[in-house]
Amino acid sequence: MTTTILLLSVDEADNLRHALPAALAQEQADVVVIDNASTDATGDLAREHGAEHLRLERRLSYCAAINAGIAATGGDAVLLLNADCFLAPGFLAAARPRLAEERVGSIAPKLIRTAGPAPEQRLDAIDAAGMVVDRRRKNALVGHGRPSLCYGTPTEVFGADGAAALYRRETLEDCAVEGSVFDDDLELWASDVDLAWRARLLGWRSAYEPEAVAYHVRTYSPSTRAGLSTRDRRMQFRNRYLMMVKNDTPAALARDLHHVAAHELLALGHVLLRERELLGAYADAARLLGPARRRRRELRARSRSRHATVPFCLEARP
């Protein structure tokens, strides 16, 4: 199985200086640096280390940049990797065999939190052991903040966090809607969750592999949310609705309606009392409702023909 590592840098040369050698040290992998119109030394580092350099002349959203990278490269498997994520030796050797399991389309590694690229900056805390979407349709990182020795058992999860996620190319191509793997309308936040949800609807599974380890600088977490720009917080808020419109099924929504409705009331109350600037997110979601419904129709037609029975809410256990 040939593997392509798509390593995205957006003016992140300081991190790339460490992430790129760690990626190049993985066995049987081609490394492509997606240079998202960076103005720093990203391109120089790619050339210096002999990695393929895919230069995007205009700054694109995360989704559009990754779509460009997927379309421009080959490989039976694709590892999507952020520049602030540093692979441990043997990462791919541990993760790649899991793709041979029946209907496993993605691998969620064990991400350990770190304050930076140096070994002494690593923290004794899990960053993510996969992702989960709960009955309220809220996504979360599995195990975030737990001791790093937890979550040591391979299992099935809802999906892989976008900081480092290994996919079968077949899965990515199968999940493409209107020719795009990632939904450009989502831009960034929760685009990995949206892809995982779509994959499950089409009958693909995601496996958590604790022996595949990477160290991730988590710049956003619920505790740092207040530091995000209003635009980013609005994008987060609206993207949850777009995901539900595209991916939720009538049966699943009916089953969980009391959870969803309770969350909506609490969310609206919070917005009215604490973050009135997020009221515009409802209008943002309404503006993008037409394309989301159109994509839903394509996805539902394909998923119904497969009679997929992949469980909805899956979370790795400690």
- Output phi, psi for 147, to 5 deg: -55, 145
- 70: number of Cβ within 10 Å: 23
pTM of the model: 0.94
What's the pLDDT score for residue 152? 96
Nearest to 31 by CA among 95, 97, 78: 78
Q: What is d(CA 131, CA 147) in angstroms, rounded to the nearest whole number? A: 17
What's the pLDDT score for residue 307? 65
Domains and CATH numbers, the chain: 3-222 (3.90.550.10), 226-306 (no CATH)
Mean pLDDT in consecutive groups of 10 residues from the start of the chain, 318 residues: 96 97 97 98 97 98 98 97 98 98 97 96 96 93 95 96 97 96 95 96 95 93 72 94 94 92 96 94 97 95 74 62
Q: Report how far apart, in Å, the C-alpha atoms of 185 and of each of 36, 146, 291 are.
A: 18, 33, 9
Q: What is d(CA 198, CA 115) in angstroms, rounded to the nearest whole number? A: 32
Q: What is d(CA 198, CA 217) in angstroms, rounded to the nearest whole number? A: 27
Beta bridge partners, 80, equal 6, 165
What's the pLDDT score for residue 51? 98
- 238: number of Cβ within 10 Å: 24
**DSSP per position, 198-220:** HHHHTT-EEEEEEEEEEEE----
DSSP E strand boundaries for the chain: 3-9, 29-36, 52-56, 77-82, 85-87, 104-114, 122-128, 131-133, 139-141, 155-157, 164-168, 205-216
Q: What is d(CA 55, CA 35) in angstroms, rounded to the nearest whole number? A: 5
